[in-house]
Amino acid sequence: MRQPPTRLLFVCLGNICRSPTAEGVMRHLLKRNDLQAALEVDSAGTGDWHVGEPPDQRSAAVGARRGMPLSGKARQVTAADFQRFDLLLAMDRSNHQNLLAMAPTPEARDKVHLLRDFDSAGQRGLDVPDPYYGGPEGFDAVFDICVAACEGLLLHLQNKDRAPAAME
């Protein structure tokens, strides 16, 4: 009997830069490793400023250049997301705190983690910096960070006994 897919929700503030980048990176990794049936991914923001907008053009350009296209439209996290998703992965401590405050139950709170707690480069517990007000180099840096974190997350999900330090 086939297991239902693990569902991941990547969360940043406006859902136009960091969380769609993480979603696009993870989709790329799933396709490359033929794991699309094992995991479902989505992204959302804790704020509502950009609801309905596509990913930021600068993030999309970096994704296109790297062969990891970004898609979708920004949406805001809802209470139902805590039931629908197995892990809610915050891009920074501020959004992590927002998600914890929104979580309707202790079990829902247990689903909330920082994305970089899974970082394969050992950069656990750090924020994915928001590139929105910076230059183009910030968008490249976010992609690099998301690749390392998503690779580590995928490894963790494939080897459940390898928990990140923040979860031990």
Type of residue found at 131:
P
Residue 119 appears among annotated catalytic residues? no
Beta bridge pairs of residue 76: 45
Spell out the residues 6+ positions from residue 114 whose beta carbon is closer than 8 angstroms to its own.
Answer: 89, 90, 91, 92, 93, 96, 124, 125, 126, 127, 166
Rounded Cα gap, residues 41 and 86, in angstroms: 10
User: Which residue among the candidates 17, 18, 42, 92 is catalytic per the annotation?
Assistant: 18
Q: What is the DSSP string of 16-85?
A: SSHHHHHHHHHHHHHHHTT-TTTEEEEEEESS-TTTTPPPPHHHHHHHHHTT--------B--TTHHHH-
Residue 150 appears among annotated catalytic residues? no
Strand ranges across the sheet with 87-90:
39-45, 6-12, 87-90, 112-114
User: Which residue among the candidates 42, 56, 127, 130 is catalytic per the annotation?
Assistant: 130
Residue 18 appears among annotated catalytic residues? yes
Q: Which residues are catalytic?
A: 12, 18, 130
